[in-house]
């Protein structure tokens, strides 16, 4: 077991790229120990493992988020390696665009498994450890699509809205055990999902956004970092929307 001392230990699901990688890097920069998983590694993960001076506080494993047994094993392994789990960030997710009537069943099943079921199973495993510690902080990455309806993202929206509902219930269920539970709901930000939009679609989103731009990844990471910090210690059961005002 690695002695984490007073250092917080954070699990970030889906930390190999995009928002997850941004959260991971911020946590390491803030002095936290970080465990993450993804289905496969990435150049960024390999570079961090080989060259980053914080690599001794970092652990990555290949895990399929649709496998409940693998998620449980990862949570237990993290607790054994670092001595605790203080924060869980449920970030892993897949997008799914298209009209519901035209969507393949296997694509629906995959979105439900990765975006929702994996989060439930990971929270179940981590919250048991957190309850024995008497402390914990669970943050799930939701979406503005859970707050406002948009054509062509019904299944994706359903998974994210479910995370918001679960958050409110778990805040009451786990609060007496010293565990906070919140979601962060980003609007449109520079990511692989947004990369699939046309320039015209991006321009339309910017026009509908009071602050006049898409979010940068750091705009979202800053809020997640705040929710991981002691400064947010009296916030639980909330969905924090980070969208530049598009849902006003």
Residues with catalytic roles:
156
What would the DSSP string read from start to end of the chain?
Answer: ----TT--EEEEET-SSHHHHHHHHHHHHTT-EEEEEESS--HHHHHHHHH-TTGGGEEEEE--TT-HHHHHHHHHHHHHHHS---EEEE-------S-GGG--HHHHHHHIIIIIIHHHHHHHHHHHHHHHHT-EEEEEE--GGGTS--TT-HHHHHHHHHHHHHHHHHHHHHGGGTEEEEEEEE-SBSSHHHHTS-HHHHHHHHHHSTT-SPBPHHHHHHHHHHHHSGGGTT--S-EEEESTTTT-
Cα–Cα distances in Å, from 171 out to 13, 180, 193?
20, 6, 30
Residue 129 tokens read as 């450890």
Structure-block tokens of residue 148: 């406002």
**Structure token digits, residue 144:** 């503005």
Both tokens of 77, joined, read 């392994």
d(CA 125, CA 78): 11
């Amino acid at each position: 077991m690695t002695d984490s001392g007073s250092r917080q230990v954070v699990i970030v699901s889906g930390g190999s790229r995009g928002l997850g990688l941004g959260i991971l890097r911020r946590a390491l920069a803030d002095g936290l120990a970080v465990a993450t998983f993804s289905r496969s590694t990435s150049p960024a993960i390999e570079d961090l493992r080989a060259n980053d001076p914080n690599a001794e506080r970092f652990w990555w494993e290949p895990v399929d988020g649709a496998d409940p047994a693998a998620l449980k094993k990862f949570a237990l392994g993290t607790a054994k390696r670092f001595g605790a789990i203080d924060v869980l960030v449920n970030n892993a997710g897949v997008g799914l665009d298209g009209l519901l009537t035209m969507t393949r069943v296997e694509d629906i099943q995959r979105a439900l498994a990765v975006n929702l079921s994996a989060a439930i199973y990971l929270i179940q495993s981590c919250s048991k450890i957190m309850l024995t510690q008497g402390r914990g902080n669970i943050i799930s990455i939701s979406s503005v699509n859970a707050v406002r309806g948009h054509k062509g993202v019904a299944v994706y929206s359903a998974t994210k809205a479910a995370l918001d509902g679960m958050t409110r219930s778990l805040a009451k269920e786990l609060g007496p055990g010293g565990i906070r539970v919140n979601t962060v709901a980003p609007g449109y930000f520079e990511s692989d999902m947004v990369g699939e939009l046309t320039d015209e679609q991006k321009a339309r989103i910017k026009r509908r956004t009071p602050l006049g731009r898409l979010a940068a990844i750091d705009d979202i990471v800053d809020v997640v970092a705040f929710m991981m910090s002691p400064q947010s210690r009296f916030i639980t059961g909330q969905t924090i929307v980070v969208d530049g005002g598009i849902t006003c």
